Structure 1
Amino acid sequence: MQIRESAEDYLEAILVLSRKGSGVRSVDIATMLGVSKPSVSHAMKLLREDGYIAMDRYGTVTLMEKGAEIANRIYERHTVLTKMLEGLGVCNEVARADACKMEHDVSDESFEKIKEHLKAKGEI
């Protein structure tokens, strides 16, 4: 399942916001990602058309199954890579920013080895 990096970021943001307990709205996504509301509106239209999300009549965004799969994969990569960088002594803010860049490009093989290494050390 190959989608653009920006779409992965939107799906991850929806996942993170949905875990906070309240409904996810476009304005929340715009605030979290630091993008304009029209950009979010356009992205939501494309994600909805491709079956990654659903929106109800009130504008509440929900991940569909295939959107949730991608969001969970990207979020796992983000958290594991952040932990790895912090374990190397990188401050949290920089580790999170760098993990956000790396999560899209690291190979599945490398990511699995990083996870195994952190698990062996008891860090995840």
Structure 2
Amino acid sequence: MEITKREEEYLETMYLLHKNKGVIRVKDIAKALHVKPPSVVDALKKLSEKGLVEYEKYDRILLTEKGKEIAESTYLKHKLLTEFFIEVLGIPPEIAEQDACQFEHYVHDITVERIREFAQFIREQCPYVLKQFLKEKLSENEKASE
């Protein structure tokens, strides 16, 4: 089954809404993704046809097991990439967040695993070098924002 990057975004958004609010509503999805409610309804219908959500008009919205699996995977990639960009590369948080949101949909699972392994390695084996690198990047970021 082919899942588009946009569908992944919808699933991730629904996963986070359920995790944080306990309920998934059309208006909350629309607000989070900066789209109109009718666009959300169209997406929900397509996701429902693919067996990724349970959706009936005026009823609750639920992720199926497969939908939740995709959503969690996307969210964990997002989280890992954001942390890597901030903590290892020294990228400002707001930029790291934006980049992770884009990158998470295109990066292969093998690449994600290598990033995780590299981050762990550099933190454990080269903490001093990492601190020096981050110190330099922080200084560069501060100069760039002046």
- Scaled by the length of structure 1, the TM-score of the pair is 0.90
**2:99 — aligned with what?**
98
CA distance in 1, matches of 2:22, 2:63: 14
Equivalent residues of 2:45, 2:55 under 8 A apart: no
Q: State the shift of 1:15 in Å.
A: 0.4
Aligned residues: 122
Cα distance in 2 for partners of 1:15, 1:73 equals: 10
> Which 10-residue stretch deviates more, 39-48 or 53-62?
53-62
Paired residue for 2:108? 107
Contact 1:26 1:59 in 2 (8 A): no
* Secondary structure of 1:62 counterpart: strand
Q: Distance in 2 between matches of 1:56 and 1:20?
A: 22
The question of whether the paired residues in 2 share the 8 Å contact of 1:27 and 1:37 is answered with yes
* 1:36 alignment counterpart: 36
Q: Give the match for residue 67 of structure 2.
A: 67
Partner of 1:45: 45
Structure with the bigger percentage of helix: 2
**Which has the larger displacement, 73-82 or 50-59?**
50-59
Does the aligned pair in 2 maintain the 1:52–1:67 contact within 8 Å? Answer: yes
The Cα RMSD (Å) is 1.6
Higher relative contact order, structure no. (Cα contacts within 8 Å, ≥ 6 residues apart) = 1
The Cα of 1:55 is off from its aligned counterpart by 2.5
Counterparts of 1:16 and 1:85, CA distance in 2: 21
Q: TM-score, normalised by structure 2?
A: 0.77
Q: Distance in 2 between matches of 1:95 and 1:59?
A: 36
Identity %: 39
Matched position secondary structure for 1:89: coil
Q: Give the conservation status (yes or no) of the 8 Å contact 2:12–2:72.
A: yes
Aligned to 2:139: none
Q: Which residue of 2 aligns with 1:21?
A: 21
What is the match of residue 3 of structure 1?
A: 3
How far did 1:85 drift?
0.7
1:57 and 1:107, CA in 2 relative to 1: closer, same or farther beyond 3 A?
closer
Contact 1:25 1:59 in 2 (8 A): no
For 1:116, give the aligned amino acid.
E
SS, match of residue 20 in structure 1 = helix
Q: In structure 2, list runs of 5 or more residues that go unmatched.
A: 125-146
Asked which structure has the greater CA Rg, the reply is: 2
